[in-house]
């Protein structure tokens, strides 16, 4: 069980700090909820305490792991599917996995695609969500500002040759 003040990561919302634990009755069922305060837009997410494991809520990565994740971005190989629907589904599964390297793969793929061809509205939104998830966790892990982490990610993504991408 997490405590107030713990820094945790939600696979679809990103990382934040538990600001409280409340008992709420929703749809006739009383449950305990973590109140997760996210640094972006001051958003707050309620997470059922008894569903954390199933959802994939976890402690944030440490600073050393955060550095490794950033360093690994430039070496991620992108295999891009041409079919928009299939590509979107594959990327969404990677984001939902909660694995930060999978999220990095989505970010790199979409950023390079945006630079080469532009993104659809759906893929632009997906890129923003993926960046929020990754940057919020890395910013908390490294105790850095959002924009500084964003600059590091962009530098790592564009440090590779986009010609290294392959298309299925």
pLDDT of residue 134: 96
Can you list the alpha helix ranges (DSSP code H) found in the chain?
Answer: 52-55, 63-72, 84-96, 100-116, 121-142, 146-158
Residues sharing a CB contact under 8 Å with residue 159, sequence separation 6 or more, in sequence order: 74
pLDDT of residue 131: 96
pTM metric for this prediction: 0.88
Ordered per-residue pLDDT tens for the chain, 168 residues: 899 999 999 999 999 999 999 999 989 999 999 999 998 778 899 999 999 999 999 999 999 999 999 999 999 998 878 888 899 999 999 999 989 999 999 999 999 999 998 999 999 999 999 999 999 999 999 999 999 999 999 999 998 544 444 434
Distance of CA 18 to the CA centre of its chain: 17
pLDDT of residue 164: 46
How big is the CA angle at 51 (ends 45 and 55), to the nearest 5 degrees? 70
* Element of type H or E holding 45: strand 44-48
pLDDT of residue 40: 73
């Amino acid at each position: 069980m997490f405590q107030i003040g713990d820094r945790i990561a939600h696979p679809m919302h990103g990382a934040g700090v538990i600001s409280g634990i409340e008992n709420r009755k929703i749809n006739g069922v009383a449950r305990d909820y973590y109140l997760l305060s996210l640094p972006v837009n001051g958003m707050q997410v309620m997470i059922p305490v008894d569903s954390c494991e199933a959802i994939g809520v976890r402690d944030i990565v440490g600073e050393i792991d955060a550095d490794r994740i950033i360093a690994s971005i430039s070496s991620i190989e992108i295999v891009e599917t041409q079919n928009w629907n299939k590509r979107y589904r594959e990327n969404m599964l990677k984001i939902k996995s909660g694995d930060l390297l999978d999220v990095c793969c989505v970010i790199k793929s979409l950023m390079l695609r945006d630079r080469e061809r532009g993104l659809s509205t759906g893929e632009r939104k997906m890129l923003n969500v993926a960046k929020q998830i990754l940057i919020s966790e890395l910013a908390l892990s490294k105790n850095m500002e959002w924009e500084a982490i964003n600059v590091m990610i962009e530098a790592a993504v564009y440090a590779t040759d986009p010609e290294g991408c392959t298309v299925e």
